[in-house]
């Protein structure tokens, strides 16, 4: 899909990958970019940069996502590309508090579900549309030190796969973005963490990869190409891969 002349919505657009997407997509000549974020002023500031408009949106609430979609469709027109990009990370394992598990599940998984629930019928009725969901390499591999992050990102990848399989014949295109470490607020607290083992990527590089993937309607977006090799090792010998990950866990968890 070409972005020229299209209406694009990006959640989590006030910073990091979302902000980089907005800036990069703007170079392709879209009709309008709508920037949504819990940080309303931040979303509006990015929107002002790219000639779009910004909205305060809490993606942990289905009502906010529905309102975002309804507002854009009423005031701008049919959404061509919806980038469900907002996400959070927390540490811990099964012992992490229920409140933490619930919040990360709502943002990292249900936000994608709620967007698809609202948009797929609309897009199908008009012959197609595009969903770009931000997950993580953790959704293909795992995440040392965070069960909630690993589990929710696996679920996000699974949902994207299901949407592509189930609604592809209705013209719904789906991409899932799975980077390793990207220089954002999420990684700032631990820049030398396990996710940066193959280097810390800039958000602008990730946004470039997204534009290229959208142009070819590619499902899996891997800004860190090493992840594909890791996936092959995992499926080639699961037990050996688990052993290697245990070594990595000892190295980074102490």
Check residue 25 and give its pLDDT.
98
**Low-confidence residues of the chain: pLDDT under 70:** 188-196, 254
pLDDT in tens, 104-159: 999 999 999 999 999 999 999 999 999 999 999 999 999 999 999 999 999 999 99
pTM across the whole model: 0.94
Phi and psi, residue 145, nearest 5°: 90, -5
Taking only Cα atoms into account, the Rg of the chain, rounded to an integer number of angstroms, comes to: 18
Closest CA to 44 of 33, 29, 60, 30: 33
Check residue 199 and give its pLDDT.
79
Nearest-angstrom CA–CA distance, 71 and 54: 11
Which residue in this structure is represented by tokens 């709508």? 34
Nearest-angstrom CA–CA distance, 232 and 228: 6
230-239, long-range: CB < 8 A, 24+ apart: 230/137, 230/140, 230/141, 231/140, 231/141, 234/141
**Angle made by CA atoms 80, 37, 79, in degrees to the nearest 5:** 10
The Cα-based distances of 229 to 140, 174, 179, 210, 211 in angstroms read 11, 22, 14, 20, 23
Q: Is 130 marked active-site?
A: no
Q: Check if the beta carbon of residue 104 is closer than 8 Å to that of residue 96.
A: no
Residue 200 exposed, middle or buried by CB count within 10 Å (0-12, 13-18, 19+): middle
Q: Which domains does the chain have, with CATH numbers?
A: 7-227 (3.40.50.720)
The Cα-based distances of 52 to 36, 78, 100, 211 in angstroms read 11, 15, 33, 18
């Amino acid at each position: 899909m070409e972005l020229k002349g299209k209406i694009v919505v990006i959640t989590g657009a006030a910073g990091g990958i979302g902000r980089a997407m907005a800036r990069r997509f703007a170079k392709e000549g879209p009709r309008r970019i709508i920037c949504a974020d819990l940080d309303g002023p931040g979303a509006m500031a990015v929107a002002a940069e790219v000639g779009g408009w910004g909205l305060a949106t809490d993606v942990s609430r289905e009502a906010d996502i529905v309102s975002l979609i309804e507002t854009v469709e009423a005031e701008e027109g049919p959404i061509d590309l919806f980038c469900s990009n907002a996400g959070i990370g927390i540490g811990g394992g099964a012992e992490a508090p229920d409140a933490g598990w619930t919040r990360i599940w709502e943002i990292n998984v249900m936000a994608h579900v709620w967007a698809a629930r609202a948009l797929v019928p609309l897009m199908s009725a008009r012959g197609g549309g595009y969903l770009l969901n931000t997950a993580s390499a953790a959704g293909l591999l795992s995440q040392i030190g965070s069960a909630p992050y690993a589990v929710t990102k696996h679920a996000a990848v699974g949902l994207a796969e299901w949407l592509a399989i189930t609604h592809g014949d209705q013209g719904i295109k789906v991409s899932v973005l799975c980077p390793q470490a990207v220089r954002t607020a999420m990684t700032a607290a631990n820049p030398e963490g396990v996710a940066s083992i193959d280097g810390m990527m800039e958000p602008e590089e990730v946004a470039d990869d997204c534009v290229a993937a959208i142009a070819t309607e590619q499902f899996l977006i891997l800004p860190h190409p090493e992840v594909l090799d890791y996936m092959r090792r995992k499926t080639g010998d699961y037990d050996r891969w688990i052993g290697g990950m245990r070594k990595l866990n000892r190295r980074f968890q102490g």
